[in-house]
Amino acid sequence: MAIYIERATAVASMDWTRWRAEFPSAERQVHMNHAGISPLPRRVAEAIRAFAEDGLILDGEIYRRWEQRADAVRDAAARLIGARAREIAFVRSTSEGLSLAASGLEWRAGDNVVTVADEYPSNVYPWFGLRRFGVETRLLQRPQLCFGCDEIATVVDARTRVLAVSAVDWQSGFRTDLAALGEFCRQRGILFVVDAIQSMGALQTDVEACAIDVLSAGGHKWLLGPEGCGVLFVSDRVVERFHPPVLGWKSVDNANAYLPYHFDLRSDAARFEPGSAPHLGIHALGAALDLLHDVGPAAIEARVLETTDRLTEGLRRIGATILSPRSGADRSAILTFALGDTAALHRALLDASVLTRPRLGGIRLAPHFYNDADDIARVLDVVSAFAKRA
C-alpha cells in the first residue's frame, strides 16, 4: 500500500506538460507504439546536432570529451537498473547483446536453454544458433499467456544452463516476476538472462534484487533513443564465464598500449566492445537517459500504469475484450485489446493519427509517460465510433 501511495503521489504532483513539450510528435499524432519504436525527444535531437557540430572540428580535446561522455552514459544506464557502470557494455541492439552472451559461454553437447514460446525472435534465435554445439533450446508453452516458477520447473533439468525470458511480453504486455525467477535460477545454478527492451525506460528493474546475470535492451523503444545503440548488462558475478565471440583492440586491458601485443581480457562488461565506440549513438542515448532520470523511474512507472489502467477501463466500457493480463503485478505499459475487425480498427486509428500495432489478433497500445488525458480520450473516441459503426 505504501508503494502504491508513493507512486500515486508522484503522478499527481508531476508537471507532465513540461515533459510532454519534449516530444514535438505529440503535436501531430497520438503515439501509442513505444513497444515498437519511439519518436525522439527534443533533447536527443539536440544531442545529435551538437555531436555533428563537434565532428566538424574534431580534435583531441573534443574526442576526450566524447570518451568522458561515454563513461557518464554508461553510469546513467547502470543507475537505471541498479547496476554498476563496469557491468554495462554498449551494443547495437537487444539481439546483439543476447547473441554475445549466448556465443560467449562454453557449451557442452547435451546442455539446454529454456525460454518461452512466442517470445520475440531476439530472445530465441541466439539460442537456436547453439544447435551446432549440440545444445537444445526448450520452449515453454503458455496457453494462458502468463507463466511463473511452477511452469518453468516443468522444463528445466540438471543440464539447463540458461533461463532466458523477456521482462515484459512484446504482444500481451505480461510482466514477468523477475525476482521470483531470479531466485529460482540462483538456487539451481542456472544463468538468468533477461530481454529488457519492453521494460527498461518504462518499468523499474533492479538487477541485483532480481539476481539477473545478463540483461540486454535496445535503445529505440521505451529508452527513447534512436535505433543502433543499446546496453548489455553482465553481472560482475559471472562476467569471467563469458569469452567475447568478437574481439578487437579494445577487448583487452590497457587497450591504448598497442604494442607489444598482450591478451589480458578486460575484467568488466566492456570486454564485449571490440573496437571504436559508437559515440554518436552513445550521445543520443545519453540524452534520452538523462530525460528518464530527470522525470524519475518511479514516476514514469506510475504514470504508464495509470495510463494503461485508464485505457483498460474505457475500452471495457465500450465493449472491447482486454487480451493483456491486468491483475496488479502482471500488468505493464503494454495493453492489447480486441474489438471487431482488427485490420479495419487499425486503419481507423491510423486515419485518426493514432499509432498502434496489430498483435494477438487485436490492437496493441503502448503509451509512455508524456501521453496525457487528451491522448487517452482520442483513442477511446476512435474505438467507440468504430464500435458504433460496426
Nearest CA among 201, 174, 177 for reference residue 37? 201
Helices 42-57 & 60-80 angle (0-180, nearest 10): 150
The model's pTM is 0.94
Cis geometry, peptide bond prior to residue 260 (ω within 30 degrees of 0): yes
Query: How confident is the prediction for the chain on average, in pLDDT?
Result: 95
Check residue 78 and give its pLDDT. Answer: 98
Q: Is the pLDDT of residue 366 over 80?
A: yes
Proportion of the chain in helix, strand, coil states, percent, rounded to 5:
45, 15, 40
Residue 174: partners with Cβ closer than 8 Å, 6 or more residues away = 145, 146, 168, 324, 325, 330, 332
Looking at 10-19, 47-56, 261-270, 284-293, which range is the least confident one? Answer: 10-19
Q: Coil, strand, or helix at residue 55?
A: helix
Strands 214-218 and 230-234 turn out to be antiparallel
In order of start, what are the domains of the chain with their CATH numbers?
2-31+296-389 (3.90.1150.10), 45-294 (3.40.640.10)
pLDDT of 5 strictly over 60: no
pLDDT in tens, 82-109: 999 999 999 999 999 999 999 999 999 9
Compute how many other C-beta atoms are within 10 angstroms of the C-beta atom of residue 237. Answer: 13
Please report the pLDDT score of residue 4 as a whole number.
39
Residues 6+ positions from 376 with CB-CB distance below 8 Å: 307, 310, 311, 314, 367
| pLDDT of 9 strictly over 80 | no
Q: Tell me the C-alpha to C-alpha distance, in Å, between residue 93 and each of 31, 122, 197, 257, 277.
A: 22, 9, 9, 29, 14
pLDDT at 235: 98
Three-state DSSP at 272 gives helix
Cell numbers representing residue 224 in the block: 527513447
pLDDT-based confidence at 11, cuts 50/70/90?
low
pLDDT band for position 1 (cuts 50, 70, 90): very low
